[in-house]
Amino acid sequence: MSALRAFADRLLGRGDATITVPSFDGALKPNQILEKAETVLQFDAPEDLATDGKTLYIADGTTILRLDGTAAAEVRRFDRTITALCCLTDGGMAVALDGREVRVFATPSASSAAVTFSDPSMNAINSLAQGPGGTLIATDGSTARPYGQWVHDLMERGRSGRVLVLDIANGRIRTISSGLSYAFGACVEGDAVFVSESWRHRVVAIGPDGGRRTVLDHLPVYPSRLSPAVSGGFWLTAFAARTQLVEFVLRENTYRRRMMAEIDPEYWIAPKLKSGQSFLEPMQGAHIKTMGVVKPWAPPRSYGLVIRLNASGIPLYALHSRVDGVNHGVVAAVEMNGSLFALAKGPGRLLRVPLTMIEGALRV
């Protein structure tokens, strides 16, 4: 029956075969809050954020930095790219390196790792979160493509993402869910783990038995990392917005395969973390600009978004950097000292938005 239903969907252009994209409406109504945010610092290769509630840590390429006022101090350096960062409740820190290894340190500045998780199957670890009972939750985006080739996994319609439980006490690795369409971000809620499934544009809850239920579906964006909000609920980031053009290309298999084989990935018809950098980009011209000015309602090749969710995963409001903005490719957001700090990977910026400013802007 499922095969027959899939054939009917492809024939009629419905279900998973549709190319329609939900609009930014309701709780996701557009604004310019993220675009107007304060730029605290600029980095060369920012990847993730973490906080223990008092200090903000930034993963920048191979280096972990600590925010000191308006400056960044180096905490430690590695020989590989940091792909995920997490502060632990006992004062420790977990770090994913090159998507293939996770090291746990007793303190952020400890000289050596207390525990190292390294397994040949680990391929694209892109987020870490504190789990129950001295464990870590890790999302492995794809077992087919490394961390840096996420756009390849999207164009190949990858479904090899996993959620792992890393037991710090005994060093064991356990898979609690697999077959995900790019797992990218996790956060514990009660006895379940909320996980972003990017290529299916949704957030799912994984129970203790490994069962999955949909928490938030039909998003107009590709969701990524989750972090807890101080007053309850979560902050959900989105590193790019969906477009009908990309959805169409994903369903045109012959064209998509030729594009991947013959064109530089920089110019694929695919989402990007930043755009407007080259005249060779596939989306430009009059449908993007009018009299030289980018239309805020133009199809977004890159976008910036953070969504505030309640404890049940229902959106309350969102912070935007729209098509005509630059704070795009938001891959991480954490709350600390009455402000939301967001990492816009596109321009390499650490952004700060006071929560009072968000409340005031949403009341207008």
Res 287: pLDDT: 64
Long-range contacts of 116-121 (CB under 8 A, 24+ apart): 116/171, 117/166, 117/171, 117/173, 119/173
Examine residue 337 and state whether it is found in any structural domain, yes or no: yes
Shared-domain flag, residues 253 and 333: yes
pLDDT score at 6: 60
The reply to whether 4 falls in a domain is no
For residues 251-277, give the mean pLDDT: 92
pLDDT at 246: 93
- Expressed as residue numbers, the domain containing 211 is 78-218
**CATH number for 174:** 2.120.10.30
Confidence of residue 241 (pLDDT cuts 50, 70, 90): very high
**Percent of residues, the chain, with pLDDT higher than 70:** 93
50 lies in some domain? no
pLDDT digits (tens, 9 = 90+) for 310-349: 999 999 999 999 988 999 999 999 999 999 999 999 999 9
Is the domain of 159 the same as that of 190? yes
Could you tell me which residues come within 8 angstroms of residue 254 by beta carbon, excluding any fewer than 6 positions away? none
Residue 160 lies in a domain: yes
Number of domain units in the chain: 2
Residue 294 confidence (pLDDT): 72
132-180 pLDDT tens trace: 988 999 999 999 999 999 999 999 999 999 999 999 999 999 999 999 9
Sort strands 289-290 and 234-241 into parallel, antiparallel or unpaired: unpaired
Does any domain span residue 65? no
Domain assignment present for 143:
yes
Is 80 exceeded by the pLDDT of residue 243? yes
**Do 155 and 182 lie in a common domain?**
yes
Partners of 306 in the β-ladder: 237, 319
Q: Which of 200, 218, 236 is the last residue of a domain?
A: 218
Q: Cα(first)–Cα(last) distance of the chain, in Å?
A: 50
Q: Are residues 235 and 363 in the same domain?
A: yes
For residue 38, give the amino acid letter.
E
Tally Cβ neighbours within 10 Å of residue 148. 12
The dihedral through the CA atoms of 177, 181, 184, 186 has a sign that is: negative
pTM of this prediction exceeds 0.85: yes
Residue 315 lies in a domain: yes
Structure confidence by residue, pLDDT tens digits, 186-204: 999 989 999 999 999 999 9
Query: Which structure tokens are listed for 126?
Result: 């892109």
195 and 279 share one domain? no
How does pLDDT run across 54-111, given as a tens digit for each residue? 999 999 999 999 998 889 999 999 999 999 999 999 999 999 999 999 999 999 988 8
